[in-house]
Structure formats: structure tokens, C-alpha cells
Chains A and B, each alone.
Chain A
Amino acid sequence: MGVGVRFDAAMVRRYDVAGPRYTSYPTAPQFTEAVGEGEYLRTARASNDDPIPRPLSIYVHVPFCTAPCFYCGCTRIITRDRTAGARYLSRLQREIELQARLFDRDRNVDQLHFGGGTPTFLSDAELAELMRFIRHSFSLRDDSQREYSIEVDPRTVDDARLAAIAGQGFNRISLGVQDFDPEVQKAVNRIQPREDVLAVIAGARCNGFQSVSVDLIYGLPRQTEAGFARTLEQVIAARPDRIAAYSYAHLPQTFKAQTQIRNEDLCPPEIKLALLGVTIDKLTAAGYVYIGMDHFALPGDELSVALAKGSLQRNFQGYSTHAGLDLIGLGMSAIGQLGDELYIQNHRLLDDWAGALDVGRLPIWRGHRLTREDRIRRAVIQDLMCRGELDVREFGERFDLDFSTHFSEELDGLATLAADGLIQIEPARLRVTPLGRLLVRAIAMQFDAYLKPQIESGKQRFSRIV
């Protein structure tokens, strides 16, 4: 598949429509309370019955942060009370027990991810205790093929902590950097001197992490082209394996912390557009491969290799090389997935999550059982977002349908995007162009059956594509 990407400001401006990220289809807003613990238990137990049951992926959400970053839209709890971690852990252990008994022990955990909040809010001892418990309850791997990653706030770790975390079995780390410009950092309450961050990046490598990923955000208040260009150069010089450049989504009605950003500091859309342009220019010039959505990786990174081979996947953790894993979500708001059958999400409020576990129940809030139509559309979105193309005949055979008939409406909807050069629609194949890769969400949205009625009613609020 063509791995090039082309930035065209006019095109981006035209297709800057609010849309989901499609880490799942249907997306989380479609989950309902019609799916509950009973259904999850049955489906989880049945997942052991395949002749070769799917391996496992575990996500652990640690929601706590000691101070708010004003841009943040994640599910988190601001607290300086360190005992909150211990209380959370005891419930987490109960949740691990309840989940672990549903899955046969010979199913290995190929993927493990700690996210938050700030996973490093937990002390080394607490992290060690948690990992020990997970290791005791599930079959973890210790070979280089495992993807065990943790999100780290560079302000919370030093060399010793990095070594300890690596010693727990994590082999991948992702660091929240956002922007090195002190003015920007002040405006969003995320002050972390450049030197310190670069030291952590270097330290991660020395302490056994085989992959380092850096998160940046463009469109933050007070960002300038020159300032962000500098940040990019400095990050590139540190040569992380992966760089994710997220677009800042200003939705203060949904994310309370964002109300603390002063209106006069907000980044104008034209600047934000320019920032995206400079990001793409600099990263591709430095040899980074555009994987898709917000992600870039070095050419030797397995995501780049998978992209070139056509084996790239996308799941709740974002882009991945692993396909066909059952995802177990642990912690507040965590999402789980069983095959292509069932999605579930845990309670988003701490009290609800803890309350369920305190009475021995799994803290499941809502979910969705995929229909055949869901599966079909999910496959289209996967193919377009991961492989950049879709073989019409092969797709038709896979799902026993005639693509152009089944999707005649959607293909009509794509006509404008095709005319603008984002996608090539041929009888045998749909192909995303280098121009379209940046705007693949707009293409994917054409196939989202749940979106149209909502756009019409003005109900959903998603982040803008760029």
C-alpha cells in the first residue's frame, strides 16, 4: 500500500468535520445498558471453546493525577491523596480475580497496556504489587514479541523508577510531551522542562524499554508555528520510535478542565492548520512513516513494517500489529472486547465502579453486541484505515454480498471526496490517496450507520478531524 501522505490546507479545511476515531465500530457512544454482566460472563466463558482460543490483551486504567493539565479530555481524578491509589488497587485486585477466572490459563497475554490518568501516580511498590497480582492471575509473556506498554508522565519518573518499571515486565513506554514551549506549558498547566523530558527519553532506552513513544498535541493555546517547529526538531533529535501528534479538541462543555484555558490564548484554526502542516513536513522529512490517524513511526518500527506488509490492525489501543485478541478492560471506564461479538465498558464514575466490585460483581456499565451489519462496516473501516484500500471482490466473498449494491448510498456519499482526490473509487477497488490518508476519518464516517441520524439531530460532539 502507498505509504505517502500529502498535506493540503484547503482540503483539510474543507473536511474538518467532527468525527470519531474509530478505535472500535460501533463507537462507545453506541453502547447501551442492554448489555450487562450476565451476557459478558456467558460470552467470555464461551470464548474458551474455540479449538485455538484467542490470546488476550489487558488494559488497566489508573485514573489519578496530582494536578490537572487543562487540555485533558481523559477520564481522570485529580487528587494529591496517595492513599487513593491503595484503595483503588484493592478493588482492582478483586476485578482481576473476577475476570481471570473467566479465561483459560493457556491463553497468553500478548498485549498489556497501562493508561490513565497517570499510571505512575502509583508508587513503585504499588505498581510491583499490581503486576505481581496480574502475573499470578494471568499467563504473561516475557519474550520480545510481547507488547507491554505504560503511559508515563515524565515529571514522575527518574532513572531508578524507569528501571523499576522496566523490571516489572514493561518493554514499551509512551511519554506525554505535548510541547516544549514554556509559554504553552504555562497556558495548559503542564510544566516540564525540555531537558528533563529528553533525559527521560534517553533514560527509557538505557533502562530496557525497546520502544519509546512520544505524544505531542498541536492546536494548544499559545502555540506558534516557530515554537512547535522547534519542539518537533528537538523531539526528532531524540529519535523516539513512535510519535503521536494529536489535535487539540476544545470542548469545554464536555471536558471541565478546559474551561481553565483562557479564551484569548486559544489557538486560531489557521494556526492549527499550519501546525499540522509543519508536523507532517518535519516528521516525514526526518524519515518517520505516517502510520495513520495521528501516528508516525520510524521505518524499522513494527507498525511501519506491518503497514507496508498490509497486516496493520486497529483496536482500542490504537494501531497495532496484533489481530484477534480478546481485550480485558480493568479499572474505571475501561473498555473490553470479546472477538467481534461483544464490546463492554466499565463504569465511568469511581463510586459506581468500586461499588460493584465491593459486592462481588463485575463493574460493567454498558456494551454492545455486534450485528452482522456492524461487522461488515467495521471491516470496511478497518481496511480503509489500516490498509488504505479495499478489494471489492474479496470483500464481497468474505461477507457474501455485492459491495456496490450493499453500499450504494455510501458510495454516492463518497463521490464528493472522490472528486476532491481523497479516494479513488474503481469497480475492483477503493483506494485512499496520499491526500486522503490525513482525512481518512471523513471517509470512514461515510460507512458509519450510526452517525447519520445523529449528525442530523446535532446530538454528538466529537473532536474535529484536524
Chain B
Amino acid sequence: MGGHATQPSLNLYQLRRTCSTCSLSELCLPMGLAPGDMQRLEELVTPRGPVNESEHLFRIGDPLRVLYAVRGGFFKTYLVEANGREQVLGFHLPGELIGLDAIWPEKHQCNAIALNTASVCELPYAGIADLGRQVPGLQHSMLRLLSKELALSHSLAGDFSAEERVAGFLLSLSSRMKARGYSATQLTLAMSRRDIANYLRLATETVSRVFSRFEQDGLVSVDRREVTLRDPEKLGELGRCFSAGW
């Protein structure tokens, strides 16, 4: 931006307003930034939507152009193995970043797909990296987000039972939804049971068996894709270790 324009017109500025009016700003990249710094970040951000269900944000091997922050809806990241089997890497909720694993070697390392009608913010990586060098708070929030991602994958490597995994999954979803101002006990699963099973390294039938058991035991009630946590404490006992990193 040159110095010849004293200020962008009010209209333009308001159009570009994203982070400062976004309810997710405390969870997302702008967390902890001073208003002035947030403004500079905002100028880089481009909201984009709707992203239709089953639309890809990027595929493995695509050059890194922008990072994505989820504004609305749910995304899934996944790999396709040599034998054609899909491996789910994670689910991304509003306020979470997708594409961080592309930072080096500046190429996307996985595929990202919308699980329902969604919207995102595009964060041009070059601009963000540049800004990061000038705004320490931004670097800090990036590292926090990267670290959270890393911690998420620890549990999956651990030796946990099917019940512990499913309980932990529900707890994680619950606390992430709560942090976004949604109900902690009334969850709508945008992801299929097959995706959940894949992510938790369980058989699809096992996931359903566990859900049925939980329902019989009064821990949850299930109606189509709606899962109500009836006994969060009991679920907490079961799933705490699995979801510790979350």
C-alpha cells in the first residue's frame, strides 16, 4: 500500500472487516492481537463462501497459496493411500486453521474437503508470513495453533479402547463447540460414522456398537446425526486420557 492514500474509503474498509467483528477472533489467528495489529491482519484476509458440501479447498501437492480459517461449517482433511484407501487426518471446526502442514515445503500435504455447506477466510501465506515478521503476536498465535494440531495426533497413537476413543472424540467435540458458544451437550455430527471410525482407527461397526452401548447405558442419546451427552461426567471419566491433548 502506498502512502498516497491517507485512508481507504470507509466503505471499502468496512467491507474488508473480518477479524475485528468475528466471533471466532479469540480462537483463530488474531487471538491476543492488539487492535492495530488486528487491522493489519484483516487487510490480508478474504472471506470466501459458500463452500459447497464435498467441495475441495485444496488437494495434496497443490502449491501453498493461502491458509484457510474455517468460518462456518465443518471440514475434513485426509490422505489417500497407495491402495486407494482414505485415511482421515482430522476434522476442522469454525475458528480452526487448515493447511498449516503445507508451510514447508510450501505444498499441501493432504486433501481438505467440506463436510457440509461451509465458509472460510483465505489468508495469503506470503502476506501472513511477512506480517508475522513485524507482529510478534501473530507469530505467537501461529505457533499456538501449530502446537494444538500436533497434540491432537498424539492420542491417536496411544493404546486406547474403542469406548475411550469414542468418548474422547465426543468430549473434544463438546469442548470445541462450547468454546465457540454452542451447546456443550447437544452435538450435530457433520461427519459420517465411517469418517469417525477412520479417524479413531476403529472399524465402522465398532463405532456404532459403542454408540449403541453408550445409549443403552444412558451416557448419550442418539437421534439421526444429533448426539445428546446425557452424562458428560461419566463420558469424561472414560475419555479424559484420550482427549487430554485437546
Contacts and interface: CB of A to CB of B under 8 A. Distances in A.
* A50, A52, A106, A339 interface centre (most CB from chain B within 10 Å): A52
Nearest to B215: A52
B184 to A, nearest CB: 18
A49 B208 contact: no
B112 to A, nearest CB: 19
A52 B211 contact: yes
B207 interface: yes
A104 B204 contact: yes
Interface residues of B, number: 16
Contacts of B207: 51
Q: How large is the interface on A (under 10, 10 to 19, 20 to 34, 35 or more residues)?
A: under 10
A227 interface: no
B133 interface: no
Contact of A106 (B196, B208, B222, B227): B208
A48 interface: yes
A26 B224 CA distance: 22
B192 interface: yes
A53 interface: yes
A406 to B, nearest CB: 22
A51 B211 CA distance: 7
Contact of A49 (B194, B205, B211): B194
Interface string A47-64: 011111100000000000
B194 A51 contact: no
A52 B207 CA distance: 8
Contact of B225 (A51, A104, A106): A51
Interface in A98-120: 104, 106
**Chain A interface mostly helix, strand, loop or mixed?**
loop
Contacts of B215: 52
Interface string A15-52: 00000000000000000000000000000000011111
Given A106-B204, A106-B205, A48 B196 contact: no
Contacts of A53: 193, 208
A49 B116 CA distance: 13
B88 to A, nearest CB: 14
Contacts of B194: 48-49
A51 B227 contact: yes
A49 B222 contact: no
Contacts of A49: 192-194, 225
Given A104-B204, A106-B205, A52 B225 contact: no
B192 A52 contact: no
Contacts of B212: 52
Nearest to B203: A106
A49 B54 CA distance: 15
Contacts of B205: 104, 106
Interface string B215-246: 10000001011010000000000000000000
* A50, A51, A53, A106 interface centre (most CB from chain B within 10 Å): A51
* A48, A49, A339 interface centre (most CB from chain B within 10 Å): A49
A49 B188 CA distance: 13
B57 interface: no
A50 B224 contact: yes
B151 to A, nearest CB: 25
Interface in B159-205: 189, 192-194, 196, 204-205
B29 to A, nearest CB: 32
A106 B204 CA distance: 9
Contacts of B225: 49-51
Contacts of B227: 51
A52 B204 contact: no
A106 B192 CA distance: 15
Nearest to A105: B205
A52 B204 CA distance: 10
Contact of B189 (A51, A104, A106): A51
Contact of B222 (A48, A52, A104, A339): A52
Contacts of A50: 193, 222, 224-225
Given A49-B193, A49-B194, A51-B189, 8 more contacts: A48-B194, A50-B224, A51-B207, A51-B225, A52-B193, A52-B211, A104-B204, A339-B224
26 contacts: A48-B192, A48-B193, A48-B194, A49-B193, A49-B194, A49-B225, A50-B193, A50-B224, A50-B225, A51-B193, A51-B196, A51-B207, A51-B208, A51-B211, A51-B222, A51-B225, A51-B227, A52-B208, A52-B212, A53-B193, A53-B208, A104-B204, A106-B204, A106-B205, A106-B208, A339-B224
Rank and list the top 8 A-B pairs by shortest CB-CB distance, nearest first.
A49-B192, A106-B205, A51-B211, A51-B193, A52-B211, A52-B222, A52-B208, A50-B224
